[in-house]
Structure 1
Amino acid sequence: VAITRYAKKQNITRAFSLNRMAVNLGFSIGPSMGGFLSNYSYDLLFYCNAAAALIAGIVFFTFFKGRKERNAAPIEENLPKEEVVKERNAYTDVKFLLFNLVCVFFSMAFFQILNTVPLFYKDVIHLSQTEIGLLMGFSGILIVVFEMLLIHTTEKRFTVTQLLVFGSFITSISFVLFTVNHTLGMLYFAIGLMSIGEMLVLPLMSTVTAFRAQKNNRGAYMGLNGISTAIAFIVSPFLGTHIATTYGFDTLWLITAVLLVAVAIGYYFFTKPLLPKNMQ
C-alpha cells in the first residue's frame, strides 16, 4: 500500500521489484547471520532481532511521517469515469477474484522451489547439502542482481499481460527441464529460468493489484492478493510431496508444467480487464 501511495505511477512495477529485492537480500543474509549469532547465544540472536525490528520501525516512522502522497489521486485516473466513481469491494470484485485465482495456481506451482525441489535434489539426484545450498543461493543472487534491470528493460517493450504470460511459460519450461537430465549444468539452467519467471510474474501481480485498487481500498486489494500467496504456501507442500511420493517426481514436474501453461492462458484472459488500455 505504501508503494502504491508514494512511488511514481510510472515506477510502480520497479518499486515492487525493489521491495522484493530488499526482501530477497534479507532472506539471503538472515539465515547466515542467525546461524552465526546462535553459535554464541540464542539470547543474542533474539536481542539482535528485536533491535533490528525496532530500528526498522523508527526508520519507517521517520520516513513516512508528514510525507505527502504522490498518488493522492487514484492510480485509476486512466480508467473510464464510471469505474473511478464507483467504489469497488475487493471481496466481491469478480474480475479481480478470477485474477487472484490464477495467482494462487502460479504460486502453488512456483513454490515447489521451497519444498519439493530441495527434496528432489537430495533424494533423487543425491546432491550434497553444499550443492543444494549453492543451487538455491544462485536463484537468490540472480534475483538481487538482475530483477531491477530485467523489469526496467522489459516493461518498456512489453505490456503487463505479455510479461505475465511469458513469465509463466518460462517457469513451465524450467520444470520440464527437471525431467530431461540431471547434470549440474542443466539444474543451474532450470533454476535460472525459474528465477526469470519469478522476476517477471511476482512483481507484476502486485502491479495489477495496485492498478485495480482505488484510493480507499488499497489495503483490502493488496491483502487479498497476499492471501492468494498464503493459500499457495499452505497447499503447495502437501500436494507437491503427495504427488511426488505417490507418482514420482517426473510426474510432479510435468503436472506443474501443464498447470503453468494453464496459468499463462488465465493471465492472458483475466489480466486485461483490470488494467488501463495502454498497459494491457
Structure 2
Amino acid sequence: MLQSIFSNYINNFRGFSREIWILTLITFINRAGTMVLPFLSKYLKEDLHFDYHQVGWVMVSFGCGSMIGSWLGGKLSDKIGFYRIMVFSLFTSGILFISLQFVTSFTGLCLAMFSIMIIADMFRPAMFVSLNTYARPENRTRALTLVRLAVNLGFAAGPAMGGLIIMGMGYKGLFWVDGISCITAIVLFRLLVKEKKREKTASHFDDTEPVKSVFNDKPFWLFLFISFATAMVFFQFFSTLPLYHNEQYGLTEFQTGLLMSINGFLIFLFEMPIVGYFERKKVAKIKLIFFGALFITFGFYALLLKGWVGILVINLVLITFGEMFAFPFSNSFAMSRAPKGHEGRYMALYTMSFSLAHVMSSKTGMEIISRYNYTVNWIFMGTFAATAAFAAIWLLKIVKSEND
C-alpha cells in the first residue's frame, strides 16, 4: 500500500527535461536565501523603529516596483529574450539586496525597495517564458508546479534559517545571505543551461493584431478580481501575521520561522499530487479556485479564536491548502482563457494582479491594525476572501453558459 502511494507520488515527477530540473534547483537555492521578505515588516518595525504607517508605505513601494518589474520583464523577454533577463535580474538584484542593509531612512527605503523590486520581479515573467521553452507541451503545467514546489521547499528552509541568522548575526545577515544566494543561483544557471531561442511568433504586445482585446473579456476581468482578492488576503502571511505572532503570542523570530516552514513542507508533500489528481479528473479550474478562496476565508476567521497558540497552526494549514487549490489552477485558467498566440497579454495582467495585491495587502492590513486592532483586520481579510469565493461561483456559471 505504502509502496503504491510512494510510486504514484514519484510518477508525478517524471518526464521533465534536464533544463527544467536545473531551473528547479536554482529556484530552490534562490528562494531558500530569500529570507528578507518574511521578516521585512519585523525588521522595519523593531530594528528601524518605523510605525505601522511607514511599514505600510515601504510595502507599497515594494508592490509598485513589483508591478512595473513584472510588466517590464515580459516586455523585454519578448524583445531580447528571457535568458538575458533572468541573468540580469538575479545577478543585479543580488548585489542590490546586499546594499539594502545600508539604507535606513524611511524615504531611502521606499526608493530602494521600489528600485530593487523593479529589477527582481523582471525575473518572474522571464521564468514563465523559460518554462514554455524548456518544457514539453504535455507537461508544462506540471513543470510550473515543480518550480512552485522548489519555491515553497526553499521557503520552508529559508525562514527557519533566517530566524537563526537574526539571532546570531542580526537582521543585516539576512541581506548578505539573500544577495549571495541570488548571485549563486544565476551563476549556476548560466554555467549549466544554454540559451535556447524560441520560435519567432507574433509579439504578444503587438496591439495592431486583429484579435479581440483582453480588455473586452469581461469574465477574465472577474477572474482577475478573484485572483487579486485571494492573493491580497494570502499576502498577510508575509506582513501582519509575523507581527501578530510576536505581539499576541510572544513568538521569537526563530519560532515564527519554524511555524512558517510548515507551509513549504505541506506544499512539497501535497501540491503536485493534488494538481495531478484534479487534472486527471478534469475538474473545472474555477471550482478548485473557489475551494482555495474558501480555505483562506476559514484560515483568517480561525484567528478570531484567541488564547490558544495552536490556532496559529490551524490558520497556517488552512491558508496553505487554500494556496494549493487557488494559485496553480488560477495560473492554468489564465493560460487556457487566452486566445492561441496571445497568452502574453493575459499572463501580463494576471501577474500584475498579484503585484497589485502586494501593494494593497500590507498597506491595508497595517492601516486597519493601526486604526483598530488585529481582530478587525482578520474579519476584514476573511470577508474579502469570502467575496472572492462567491465571485468564483458567479464566474463558474458564466463559463458554463459560454460552453453550452
TM-score after normalising by structure 1: 0.78
Q: Which runs of 5 or more structure 2 residues have no equivalent in the other structure?
A: 1-127, 202-209
Question: Are 1:152 and 2:285 matched, yes or no?
Answer: no
Residues 120, 206 of structure 1: CA spacing in aligned structure 2 closer, same or farther, 3 A cutoff? same
Q: CA deviation at 1:252?
A: 0.9
Q: Give the aligned residue type for 2:230.
A: F
> Which residue does 1:264 correspond to in 2?
389
In structure 2, distance between residues paired with 1:11 and 1:271: 25
Question: Are 1:244 and 2:402 matched, yes or no?
Answer: no
Aligned positions of 1:1-280 closer than 5 A: 1-2=128-129, 3=131, 11-29=139-157, 32=161, 42=176, 49-62=182-195, 65=196, 87-157=211-281, 158-270=283-395, 273=398
Q: Give the aligned residue type for 1:127.
A: L
In structure 2, distance between residues paired with 1:96 and 1:115: 28
In structure 2, distance between residues paired with 1:67 and 1:231: 30
In structure 2, distance between residues paired with 1:117 and 1:45: 21
Residues 271, 150 of structure 1: CA spacing in aligned structure 2 closer, same or farther, 3 A cutoff? same
Q: CA deviation at 1:247?
A: 1.7
Q: Give the aligned residue type for 1:195.
A: T
Residues 134, 102 of structure 1: CA spacing in aligned structure 2 closer, same or farther, 3 A cutoff? same
Q: CA deviation at 1:4?
A: 5.2
Per the alignment, in what secondary structure is the counterpart of residue 122 of structure 1?
Answer: helix
In structure 2, distance between residues paired with 1:174 and 1:49: 32
**Structure number with higher relative contact order (C-alpha < 8 Å, ≥ 6 residues apart):** 1
Residues 46, 264 of structure 1: CA spacing in aligned structure 2 closer, same or farther, 3 A cutoff? closer
Q: Give the aligned residue type for 2:333.
A: V
Q: CA deviation at 1:143?
A: 1.4
* Residues 113-136 of structure 1, C-alpha deviations (whole Å, 9 max, x = no match): 110111111111221222211111
In structure 2, distance between residues paired with 1:200 and 1:153: 12
In structure 2, distance between residues paired with 1:148 and 1:25: 13
Per the alignment, in what secondary structure is the counterpart of residue 250 of structure 2?
Answer: coil
Contact 1:208 1:274 in 2 (8 A): no
Q: CA deviation at 1:254?
A: 1.2
Contact 1:175 1:254 in 2 (8 A): yes
- How many percent of aligned residue pairs carry the same amino acid? 27
Q: Give the aligned residue type for 2:224.
A: N
In structure 2, distance between residues paired with 1:89 and 1:56: 36
Contact 2:224 2:350 in 1 (8 A): yes
Deviation larger for 255-264 or 265-274? 265-274
Residues 108, 47 of structure 1: CA spacing in aligned structure 2 closer, same or farther, 3 A cutoff? closer
Q: Give the aligned residue type for 1:113.
A: F
* Residues 149-191 of structure 1, C-alpha deviations (whole Å, 9 max, x = no match): 2222334443212111111111110111111134232211220
Contact 2:287 2:396 in 1 (8 A): no
Per the alignment, in what secondary structure is the counterpart of residue 61 of structure 1?
Answer: coil
Q: CA deviation at 1:87?
A: 2.7
* Residues 75-100 of structure 1, C-alpha deviations (whole Å, 9 max, x = no match): xxxxxxxxxxx733334433222211
Q: CA deviation at 1:260?
A: 1.0
Q: Give the aligned residue type for 2:219.
A: K
Residues 116, 16 of structure 1: CA spacing in aligned structure 2 closer, same or farther, 3 A cutoff? same
Residues 106, 149 of structure 1: CA spacing in aligned structure 2 closer, same or farther, 3 A cutoff? same
Residues 49, 174 of structure 1: CA spacing in aligned structure 2 closer, same or farther, 3 A cutoff? closer
Contact 1:171 1:193 in 2 (8 A): yes
Residues 8, 184 of structure 1: CA spacing in aligned structure 2 closer, same or farther, 3 A cutoff? farther
In structure 2, distance between residues paired with 1:204 and 1:275: 17
Residues 14, 140 of structure 1: CA spacing in aligned structure 2 closer, same or farther, 3 A cutoff? same
Contact 1:212 1:274 in 2 (8 A): no
In structure 2, distance between residues paired with 1:181 and 1:137: 22
In structure 1, distance between residues paired with 2:371 and 2:257: 26
Q: Give the aligned residue type for 2:144.
A: F
Q: CA deviation at 1:147?
A: 1.1
Matched length? 261
